[in-house]
Structure 1
Amino acid sequence: MNIGKLFAIGLTLTGALAALPSPSSAQGLDLYIGPGGPDLELRDRRYDDDDYRPYRGCSERQAIRRAYRLGLRDPEVQSITRREVAVDGVGRRGRYTTVYFANRPGCPRIG
């Protein structure tokens, strides 16, 4: 058999195997090609570390930052519930004020 024919058969089989559906896995494969050459990274999506948990709500830090931008002086988190984050502080006219943010990404103001 000719080497060219073997090569063509190999390419055809490789393409056919690549087209087959595969079961999803809990790992990802990233390939970066930069000035230093290719960099291959294999990462695990299941977060095996106990320290790392992606936070999908409004953190205390974000709520304080948002309240400060709204004009509250000395903002402090009063309470955090499943639905809202309450922040207390002194308003623009010197009155004690409470601002409520939704406990979701972006901390939208709800009251």
Structure 2
Amino acid sequence: MNIGRLFAAGLILGGAAAAVPSASSAQSFDLYIGPDGPQLRDRRYDDDDYDYRPSRGCSERQAIRRAYRLGIRDPDIRSVTRREVAVDGVGRRGRLTTVYFANRPGCPRIG
């Protein structure tokens, strides 16, 4: 009879522990083991990884990379305006092709 009660109490405690809300794991904590011993660091506030430069738009390098991924061979910047970045290159069928990207972060394709 004692074993049954002990088993029931264990099930109740296990269920209660599973029902307690836990902290979300956002994968922002790192464990570093170095000469000073193990250290737990929060990457959200790590000064080494923080990028102080705001992203202003689609850079020429990003636009060329995106055009290359779309299948444009030998991509070259045709023009950069406030709103768009135009990239020329050779398309899949050997024709001259122009691809237009919006001049904003992520370089979304607009034409």
TM-score band, normalised by the shorter chain? 0.5 to 0.7
Between the two proteins, the alignment pairs up a number of residues equal to: 73
Runs of 4+ in structure 1 deviating by more than 2 angstroms, as ranges, are 32-42
1:55 equivalent in structure 2:
55
Alignment of 1:31-50 (within 5 A): 35=33, 36=36, 37=39
1:69 equivalent in structure 2:
69
Give the distance between the partners of 2:71 and 2:46, measured in 1 at CA. 44
Which AA in structure 1 matches 2:58? C
2:82 equivalent in structure 1:
82
Unpaired runs of 5+ residues, structure 1, are 1-31, 48-52
Q: How high is the TM-score relative to the length of structure 2?
A: 0.54
> Structure 1's 89 and 41: CA in aligned 2 closer, same or farther, altered over 3 A?
closer
Identity of aligned residues (%): 75
Give the distance between the partners of 1:54 and 1:85, measured in 2 at CA. 19
* Alpha-carbon RMSD: 2.7
